[in-house]
Chain A
């Protein structure tokens, strides 16, 4: 019983984390048709910015809860600055290219972002445990978990709800839907597609950075953290269907649970199961489980 509960909790916490990281990736793909490898770079920058600022805050003697605010602020800064610059300076010049070429360009950006981290923050790891210590731990059905990891679940639900609300209940959602459906027609009816693209990319980048920033107190923030994350979030997004937010949710839960199961029962299969499932899903449904239906153009 306790083992099952541990497994369930581990899986859900990991799934929430994956969801937060991958939802930005799927939004960017859905609207802009860009498979953004640089998303891993935003994740790493978020983690570093948060860990660094929490470290500085602790040195200045600020209270521990202040770290939680810093996590939000630093991910927004990272998303706003990098998202805006990259969309304006690089991506918008590439929209007429094939999808795969844009994929390569984002791969180049990913490498650049990785090394910029080394240049700015150095090679030594950062630790930012203060927010985690502040929230303490709690007993759940006989097992102790830190509140901080559990709060990831809440954050994931919040992100999912806000995305759902914006897309289905606001004018912005309608505009986005139109742009996704037909870019040219949206231009013709007076939607400023350029602005929509910039904001979509900024939001995607911010969500990626938020994933990194929020997880940073629980890990040691060191070079190379984004390498695994980017392929895992690809798996999540591909399993769920690229461009679909419910898909990202289902994909995250599937990958999170599978990984938890593998870690507890068959540790040697940890990475294997995730990508095996991804391959199987792609074979059966090439567009992923929840991909929006597409018109076939000949």
Chain B
């Protein structure tokens, strides 16, 4: 109940408020924190794409495919046309990922559960297999991506890019939130609960899933593009390999499916957890991640966001 009221009234307000706060705080952050936050938020956008599918009960173990396509679209656009404008770069990432998502969607919309996860993995590994062996696509080294310009203006700091990332993140979060509240969005949970009944109601489950899949691909592709711009480089192992998909799924589990804001919080938390874990215990980094994943599955099945829900629920109870 309370979650519903919360998201119905406040989510958009919350997103705008956090956007403004981040935009102001960003001005004073030291460079490494700014970078970490950018990586985190870009990944968060990708995880938002996964959340879209997760609400239907689908977990994609191959979303690195779209993350990689977005990133490589940015890099290849620059390599072949020299374009470095942020809007053109984002358009390239978004279009490339949506087109591939649209085509693969025809196949994937017929699969559920483990088979959906595995087939997604297979598709992403096909791309990985092509990338690491193809000289024209940069092989295992990938490419470097030059600094992003905004409508011909070359900013001196990373702050404008940061601003763009939080702007896009906020827009995407609001967009997905509005989508979840539309008729098509409500179909999401219905499909998860009972597909056959949804069909009897006169909706096409396959079409609803296909549409969702393309949205999800577009979000993750854009995220990949932003990530490539923030990092200044693309390469197959840190963007397309199956471990990247695993990482994205890990962040979704960490954040929980409760809210459109959760992926961003989870992803930024993950980014800094990783930075510190690398400092403190470089050989135990995966141990920490794996242990956290198990811990979340056992003790916090609805992710970090459920802690937030808990707090809000208590507050509401006191008030009512």
Contact = CB atoms under 8 A, between A and B. Distances in A.
Contacts of B117: 100, 103
B172 interface: no
Given A90-B294, A112-B287, A114-B286, A283 B114 contact: no
B289 A111 contact: yes
Chain B interface SS verdict (over half): helix
B291 interface: yes
Interface range on chain A: under 10, 10 to 19, 20 to 34, or 35 or more?
A: 35 or more
Contacts of B286: 111-112, 114-115
Nearest to A267: B133
Interface string B109-123: 011011101110111
A60 to B, nearest CB: 28
B126 A98 contact: no
B22 interface: no
Given A123-B283, A231-B121, A100 B113 contact: yes
A61 to B, nearest CB: 32
A108 B246 CA distance: 9
B292 to A, nearest CB: 8
Interface string B292-315: 111001100100000000000000
A109 B121 contact: no
A93 B298 contact: yes
Interface stretch (A7-15, A143-151, A272-280): A272-280
Interface residues of B, number: 45
Contacts of A94: 297
A118 B129 contact: no
A21 interface: no
Nearest to A227: B243
A1 interface: no
Contacts of B253: 104
B122 A278 contact: yes
Interface in A246-270: 267-270
A36 to B, nearest CB: 12
Contacts of B107: 283
Interface string B88-129: 000000000000000000010011011101110111011011
Q: Which 6 A-B pairs have the closest CB atoms?
A: A271-B129, A111-B290, A108-B293, A272-B129, A115-B287, A112-B290
9 contacts: A35-B114, A100-B59, A100-B117, A104-B59, A104-B249, A108-B293, A111-B286, A227-B241, A276-B129
Interface of B: 57, 59, 61, 107, 110-111, 113-115, 117-119, 121-123, 125-126, 128-130, 132-134, 196, 241-243, 246, 249-250, 253, 283-287, 289-294, 297-298, 301
